[in-house]
Amino acid sequence: MNVLLTGGCGYIGSHVAVVLMAAGHHVAIVDNLSNSHQGVVDRISEIAGRSPAFHRGDVADVKLVRDVIREHSVDSVIHLAGFKSVGESVQWPLKYYQNNVCGALGLLEAMEAESVAHLVFSSSATIYGDPRYLPVDESHPQHVINAYGRSKLHIEDMLRDVCVSRPSLGAVCLRYFNPVGAHSSGLIGDRPRGIPNNLMPYVVQVASGELERLKVFGDDYPTPDGTGVRDYIHVMDLAEGHVAALDYLSSNSGWHAFNLGTGRGYSVLEMIRAFEAQSGRSIPFEITGRRQGDVACSYADIRSAAQGLNWRATRSLEDMCASAWGFQSRLAGG
C-alpha cells in the first residue's frame, strides 16, 4: 500500500514507518518537525534499507496534503501528528484544539478531496478517564478531564460523522495505553524535549545521570505496592498494531476503535526494578505526593484487538526496558 504517515518523525511514528516499510509498504511522511528532527528520516532509512519520502509541513495545510496524496498515489493514511502533553494542554487548551483538531480537519478535507478511504488514527486510553472497571474495554464510558484528551475525543467523533456521511470510508481509532521502549537497533526511540513528563524517559535519564532522581508520584494508591499501575506496551508491538489496522481496513469500512495494550499492568516500583535489572544502573527515587489527574490503575481489555485485528503484543517488560536503555546508550555514544 501507499501510506501517508503524519507525524512520522516522532517517537511512535518513526517505529511505525520502520514496521510499514518492513511489511513492504511505500511510506510518505508529513511532519512539521515541531517535536522532532529531520535526522530521524535518515535513521529510519538506515534501519529499513530504503528511504521513506519526507515532506516537511503541517497536516492542516490541505493543499500540501493533497499534493502529497497525489504524488505518492496514497491509498491509506496513518495519522499520528499532534501535540501530546497533558500538562501543556491544561495550560494552553486552544493550542491543542488548534493543532490536533484543526490538523485532523485539514487532513480529512484533503482525504475527501482526493478520495482516500482508509484512515488509522492515534487515539489514547486517556479518553476513558478514571477506570470504573478493569480491564478497560472499548465500550468503557468516556470521561476526559483535559484538553489533550478532549482533542482526541473530538477527532474520534469527527471520524464517526465522516464515516456516516461516506459509507465507503474506513476509520480505525487505536487507543494506545502506555508505549515505551525502542527499536532494537537503538537508532530511534523516545527522546522528549526538556524534562520528560512520562515515567520511562524520566527513568532512562536518571539511569544515564542526566537527572538526579525520580519522583514517584504517590505510594498510597489502592494497588499492591501503593504506586500507580499502567499497561506499558512495547512501541514495536504498538507499531505492528498499525499494520494490522491497515489490513483490517482492506476488508472493513465504517468507524472502529481498538485498545492497544498488553492487558497487564505494572506498578511504578516494578518498572524501576525491571529497568535496574536490564540497565545495571540504580535508579535513585523519592516518594512524593500524587500527581494531579493521575489514576490509580489502568490496563486494557485486549480481546477486541486480538479478535478484530488478529494482533496481540508479544514483547516482554524486559525487552521494553532493555531497548529503551539501548537507545539511550547509543545516543550517549553519539
Catalytic site positions: 148
32 lies in the binding site for ligand NAD (CB under 6 A): yes
Which segments of 136-210 does DSSP mark as H helices, in order?
147-165, 199-207
Contact of 18 with 42, CB cutoff 8 Å: no
Eight-state DSSP code of residue 291? P
Single-letter amino acid, residue 60 = A
Closest CA relative to residue 190, chosen from 324, 23, 90, 311: 324
Residues within window 278-297 making contact with ligand NAD, judged by CB under 6 A: none
Per rule CB under 6 A, count of chain residues that contact ligand UDP:
14
Task: Count Cβ atoms within 10 A of the Cβ of residue 16 and give its class: 0-12 exposed, 13-18 middle, 19 or more buried.
Answer: buried
Least gap, CB of 99 to ligand NAD (angstroms)? 5
List the one residue from 228, 261, 265, 326 that touches ligand UDP (CB under 6 A): 228
* Dist CA 295 CA 230 (whole Å): 9
Single-letter amino acid, residue 102 = C
Per rule CB under 6 A, count of chain residues that contact ligand NAD:
27
13 lies in the binding site for ligand NAD (CB under 6 A): yes
* Dist CA 274 CA 277 (whole Å): 5
List the one residue from 64, 216, 236, 320 that touches ligand UDP (CB under 6 A): 216
Cis peptide leading into residue 135 (ω within 30°)? yes
* Dist CA 174 CA 301 (whole Å): 13
202 lies in the binding site for ligand UDP (CB under 6 A): yes
List the one residue from 55, 230, 234, 242 that touches ligand UDP (CB under 6 A): 230
- Nearest to ligand NAD of 192, 226 (CB atom): 192
Single-letter amino acid, residue 82 = G
First-to-last C-alpha distance (Å) of the chain: 35
Closest CA relative to residue 299, chosen from 272, 259, 249: 259
Residue 169: which residues within 8 A CB-CB, separation 6 or more?
117, 118, 119, 162, 163, 253, 254
Exposure string (b/e) for 226-258, b if CB count within 10 Å is 16 or more? Answer: bbbbbbbbbbbbbbbbbbbbbebbeeeeebbbb
7 lies in the binding site for ligand NAD (CB under 6 A): yes
| Nearest residue (beta carbon) to ligand UDP | 228
Selection from ligand NAD, ligand UDP, none that 268 binds (CB < 5 to 8 A by kind) is: ligand UDP
- Nearest to ligand NAD of 12, 269 (CB atom): 12
- Nearest to ligand UDP of 97, 217 (CB atom): 217
81 lies in the binding site for ligand NAD (CB under 6 A): yes
Residues within window 158-197 making contact with ligand UDP, judged by CB under 6 A: 178, 197
- Nearest to ligand UDP of 92, 217 (CB atom): 217
- Nearest to ligand UDP of 133, 334 (CB atom): 133
149 lies in the binding site for ligand NAD (CB under 6 A): no
Angle among Cα 150, 218, 233 to the nearest 5 degrees reads 55
List the one residue from 1, 5, 12, 272 that touches ligand NAD (CB under 6 A): 12
Residues within window 287-316 making contact with ligand UDP, judged by CB under 6 A: 291, 294
- Nearest to ligand NAD of 124, 323 (CB atom): 124
List the one residue from 18, 58, 66, 170 that touches ligand NAD (CB under 6 A): 58
Set of cell numbers at residue 320: 521494553
Site residues, ligand NAD (CB under 6 A): 6-7, 9-13, 30-36, 58-60, 80-82, 84, 99, 103, 122, 124, 176, 179
Site residues, ligand UDP (CB under 6 A): 178, 197-199, 202, 214-217, 228, 230, 268, 291, 294
